[in-house]
Chains A and B, each alone.
Chain A
């Protein structure tokens, strides 16, 4: 059995309790959530969730069916079934003292990160990209330099002109 990663885009009514039903479903059915992002869309009556999970295709199909069964879920798409773009934002607080300070700056530039806050012995770096790129950045920094990391989780959208609601 293949345990692939799947990226689900979920449109749901922007109502109190709707998100807890989505999250509750995963716990209840023994499915895992790896990352989760949520915010209202251009239509403020709708929220959009991007959720990564893993499992064999039949399991992910079951998840999708169960999500569709929730009354407040308007649309569910498995973005990994087609061409799509995914991005994650990371803020990393990194130790930057002595000779390490310019080295950290150089690594940050190579990954097209931005230094968004500075202290006498740290940089806080903002980095946007795919999960793999963010992981690679963490690996590229010398061991022990990372003090704190926060990642947004993945947001995803399909490529091309089609809108999720018309799919």
Chain B
């Protein structure tokens, strides 16, 4: 049973048939046939943004929080190029989004026509795949393939470039949405190698100083429950990457916190001294390993990932397994249960207890809070860590938290405890300032009744604050917590530590807006907090019933001198961290 539809109508219909509920977009000449097709239907809702970059981050936030692809629609030329930063952000973190960019008509392509940009060419290095529609008749199967490719295997962004003539309302085609996709050149792994899986289980059970190092791939691959069960069954310590937070309960005893450049002391020390590292859905990013040649010298490495290209890219894996997290973790779980059933003392519990004792000592000596203990009784100014902790208390931890990029991002990652996956949403790979607010908006659309908070810095916030207008239009009750240090804090920290305190273009103290008044001008609620004793009352208001339906902005004026610690020492091993700022010097710990 097929109907006669125009290209523009087929595109919209295919999105409906794909189950899309929201499209984040911004119109323009080349996209107008598509916009007219959107006008004539009710099944999917188009959200009008204020900048195309924000549209891509909204789609990205939607995708990260639901696991379903987010959808973007932009016009040609500047609309398309404005979307690039968001596409690159999604690409680096393997997030499924489908970006539809309008294009000048086929006959004008290559002529430098008005608002013509070679979108397929410009986006090529930052997409999983892209399509250029040559003929309207191809639209249904291209849309079908685009969603399949975006969301399967290692997910990622897919661009569909749509020349205006292929959406002409006067040319009708038989529409039928394909039921299946057949791509001879694309077949994501469906199961891991059985022999490798067995070897991995034996190595896990033999370990005396094990660490489970889990990343965003566990969340993407829906492996959270299995990973948690497996770690619990073994009683092994777990650390998460910035992207993996929430894939193991953050408030659990076995959780060591985040690892890497600003990871916890205990997580980084455990990685360095481990004799076995089970890496799952993680990619040994340079922000994790520090100097790869000094990485975990004693450790045997099991590396499970869906993407063969991620394995042995930076650190050589002793036992590589390519496969989906759910299938391989499920199989490992079964093998571990069988092994422990037949031989309950298969794990060297004495060695494990000694290992835990070492980890606990690291935690007691230099775990988080270290900095606050160090500074207790200081100048009384508000510390960023205290603001994040107050948020955590006031929300009961039951919130989606997005963030931007900078010190505030690290404080949020360190001090908010995520007990569930898809709750912590940030740009890990590209580190895109301006991500936080639009990402939170995408999350709020997907979860209208949930608490959605955005931890931002005044620098990052100003990169996409025009979206306050979109929030007003759609009445999005997001809670924005601005850790205002009146500086590009992370840049300033590096300048303090590596450039003799020369703050080259990282401060703008006298040129900041009154954020409270700014937000109020968009009809939102805003608070300003300067002191610790006001903090809990404000957070109680913000996250309580009083402002359930309001967007609330908290402008928290924090100590501008605060640094993020621990911080990896450049070129060193994971154990090499700066732990705190001493008056006039840095306390550099070489080893313990």
Contact = CB atoms under 8 A, between A and B. Distances in A.
Q: Do A and B belong to a common assembly?
A: yes
Interface of A: 12-13, 16-17, 20-21, 24, 28, 58, 61-62, 65-66, 68-69, 71-74
Interface string B244-283: 0000000000000000000000000000000000000000
Given A17-B120, A65-B308, A28 B125 contact: yes
A20 B186 CA distance: 18
B300 interface: no
Contacts of B309: 62, 65-66, 68-69
Given A58-B312, A62-B313, A71 B124 contact: no
A42 B313 CA distance: 35
A contact patch SS = helix
Interface string B118-155: 00110011001110100000000000000001000010
B120 A71 contact: no
Contacts of A24: 124-125
Contacts of B308: 65, 68
Given A24-B124, A28-B125, A74 B307 contact: no
Contacts, number: 34
A5 B313 CA distance: 20
A71 B183 contact: yes
B183 A20 contact: no
B125 A16 contact: no
B184 interface: yes
A75 to B, nearest CB: 8
Nearest to B129: A71
A121 B424 CA distance: 76
Give 7 nearest A-B pairs by CB, closest first: A65-B309, A74-B185, A71-B129, A28-B125, A65-B308, A71-B186, A24-B124
A12 B185 CA distance: 8
A66 B311 CA distance: 11
Interface string B303-336: 0000111001100000000000000000000000
B308 to A, nearest CB: 5
Interface of B: 120-121, 124-125, 128-130, 132, 149, 154, 183-186, 307-309, 312-313
B121 A20 contact: yes
28 contacts: A12-B185, A13-B185, A16-B132, A17-B120, A17-B130, A17-B132, A20-B121, A20-B124, A21-B124, A24-B124, A28-B125, A58-B312, A61-B312, A62-B313, A65-B308, A65-B309, A66-B309, A68-B308, A68-B309, A69-B154, A69-B307, A69-B309, A71-B128, A71-B129, A71-B149, A71-B183, A71-B186, A74-B184
Nearest to A25: B125
- Interface centre among B149, B186, B312, by most A CB within 10 Å? B186
A20 B121 CA distance: 9
Contacts of A17: 120, 130, 132
B568 to A, nearest CB: 24
Contacts of A61: 312
Nearest to A11: B185
A72 B185 contact: yes
Nearest to B130: A17
A28 B121 CA distance: 13
Nearest to B158: A71
A13 B308 CA distance: 21
B153 to A, nearest CB: 9
Nearest to B128: A71
A129 B312 CA distance: 37
A72 B120 CA distance: 15
A46 B154 CA distance: 25
A20 B125 CA distance: 11
A66 B129 CA distance: 13
- Interface centre among A16, A20, A68, A69, by most B CB within 10 Å? A69
Contacts of A20: 121, 124
Contacts of A73: 185
A71 B183 CA distance: 9
A12 B184 CA distance: 10
A159 B511 CA distance: 71
B590 to A, nearest CB: 30
Contacts of A28: 125
Contacts of A72: 185
A3 B307 CA distance: 26
Contacts of A74: 184-185
B196 to A, nearest CB: 16
Contacts of A58: 312
B293 to A, nearest CB: 13
Contacts of B128: 71
Nearest to B120: A17
Contacts of B184: 74
Nearest to A16: B132
A14 to B, nearest CB: 11
Nearest to A28: B125
Contacts of B125: 24, 28
